[in-house]
Amino acid sequence: PVLYVLNGPNLNLLGVREPHIYGRETLADVQAICERAAEGATVVFRQSNREGELIDWVQEARTEASALVLNPAGYGHTSIALLDALKALTIPVVECHLSNPAAREDFRAHSYVSLAATGIVSGFGAHSYELAVQAALRLARERSA
């Protein structure tokens, strides 16, 4: 199976950005964690600070991926367009967050992305990605069985 792992704005600064919230691991470390968790499945791992680029990649995942892990970062709280792109998918979608947004500021409690997510993993730092990749792989395999 091919797994898309897409990362939204500011996650390129992982490791230096608010490390008390997001941890010391860099995005490269997170990529390595995802590749290890994928157990030989192909991982397409990308990050963008641009909403439109993320939407293009979600559209690409429609035909190229068997599951999607998405950390929408700030766009999860704001982007109806990203939600609409996700709604066009038939593959499983796992929403993933390093922090637990529900335990933070009120404006983080709502996620548009959650409306289109099969499931959500949040609050475990970089380990959230490991769990999200495992869940996405399992869902992809169940569907192809």
The residues that touch ligand DQA, with contacts defined as CB under 6 A, are: 10, 71, 73-74, 97-99, 101, 108
The response to whether 71 counts as a known ligand-binding position is yes
Least distance between ligand DQA and beta carbon 58 (Å): 16
Active site (annotated) includes residue 127: no
The response to whether 98 counts as a known ligand-binding position is yes
Least distance between ligand DQA and beta carbon 40 (Å): 26
**In the complex with ligand DQA, which residue's Cβ is closer, 73 or 85?**
73
Q: How far apart are CA 34 and CA 67, in angstroms?
A: 13
Active site (annotated) includes residue 22: yes
Tokens representing 24 are: 């010391």
Given 4, 75, 97, 112, the catalytic residue? 97
Q: How far apart are CA 78 and CA 4, in angstroms?
A: 22
Q: How far apart are CA 18 and CA 84, in angstroms?
A: 30
Q: How far apart are CA 144 and CA 128, in angstroms?
A: 24
- DSSP assignment of 26-44: -HHHHHHHHHHHTTTSEEE
Given 4, 22, 75, 112, the catalytic residue? 22
Which residues are part of the catalytic machinery?
22, 97
Residues making up the binding site? 71, 77, 84, 98-99, 108
